[in-house]
Amino acid sequence: MPTTAVEAKIAPSMLSSDFANLASEAERMVSFGADWLHMDIMIIDTVDFYLWHFVPNLTIGAPVIASLRKHTKAYLDCHLMVTNPLDYVDQLGKAGASGFTFHVEVSKDNWQEVVKEIKLKGMRPGVALKPGTPIEDVYPLLEGENPVEMVLVMTVEPGFGGQKFIPDMMNKVRTLREKYPKLDIEVDGGLGPSTIDEAAAAGANCIVAGSSVFGDPEPARVISLLRTSVNKCLKPNFI
């Protein structure tokens, strides 16, 4: 397990940014105090000659990450909502992604290979789970020689920004935090000033926030509020 201290990481979700001005939006968020930039990658994959998608939406892929990387040194926290993450490890590594988080629902058979490849390409591996997936499903990925370094607990159904936070997901966060005091636990979906205290109290330390940050006239104030709430809950025993 990771031994470094658990820190607050505030990650504005660029899904809510103006994609036509991605570089300046990224720069703006970093200047407002963002630690990470959350990049939602949704693509149609080919599986056994059929076209599939993991979520009913399309966003960006490796070419956009590569373009953005030319304009920022920020940590690019990539969330892969795809059916076959292994297909994208190489290209995202080359594009300059920092974190590579794949979904456990599509990786039960090959997660070990996926994690190994992610590390080989110089990225940090994370695993995500949908609201309907039990927390126990990620336990195997946190044990053994090659564990993931972050768990992303989805607090909405993946696919779109601007949805309502599902409070029941906090049971998963609490269970995970009790079992893994030093793990990076990320929450994604519906996070903002009205939901952050609940997520922070449950033990989340990496906070993705799209519409609440980009939709506010003072994004810097929202980022700072999210950070303060997480810092208040980081117990000394997490460090």
Question: Which residue type, as a one-letter code, is found at position 124?
Answer: R
- Per-residue contact flags (x/-) with ligand DX5 for residues 49 to 78, judged by CB under 6 A: ------------------------------
40 is catalytic: yes
- Per-residue contact flags (x/-) with ligand DX5 for residues 148 to 177, judged by CB under 6 A: --------x-xxxxxx--------------
Phi, psi of 4 (to 5 degrees): -70, 160
Asked if residue 184 binds Zn ion (CB under 5 A), the reply is no
* Contact status, residue 223 vs residue 4, Cβ threshold 8 Å: no
Asked if residue 9 binds ligand DX5 (CB under 6 A), the reply is no
- Minimal distance in Å, beta carbon 159 to ligand DX5? 5
Asked if residue 186 binds Zn ion (CB under 5 A), the reply is no
Which position's Cβ is nearest ligand DX5?
210
Asked if residue 188 binds Zn ion (CB under 5 A), the reply is yes
From the list 143, 100, 133, the residue with the least C-alpha distance to 118 is 100
- Minimal distance in Å, beta carbon 235 to Zn ion? 26
Q: Which of residues 211-230 bind ligand DX5 (CB under 6 A)?
A: 211-212
Question: For residues 77 and 14, what is the distance between their CA atoms, to the nearest angstrom?
Answer: 10
DSSP 105: G
Q: Which of residues 24-43 bind Zn ion (CB under 5 A)?
A: 40
Strand ranges inside the chain, DSSP E: 9-12, 36-42, 44-47, 50-53, 75-81, 99-103, 124-129, 150-154, 184-188, 206-209
Q: Which residues are catalytic?
A: 40, 188
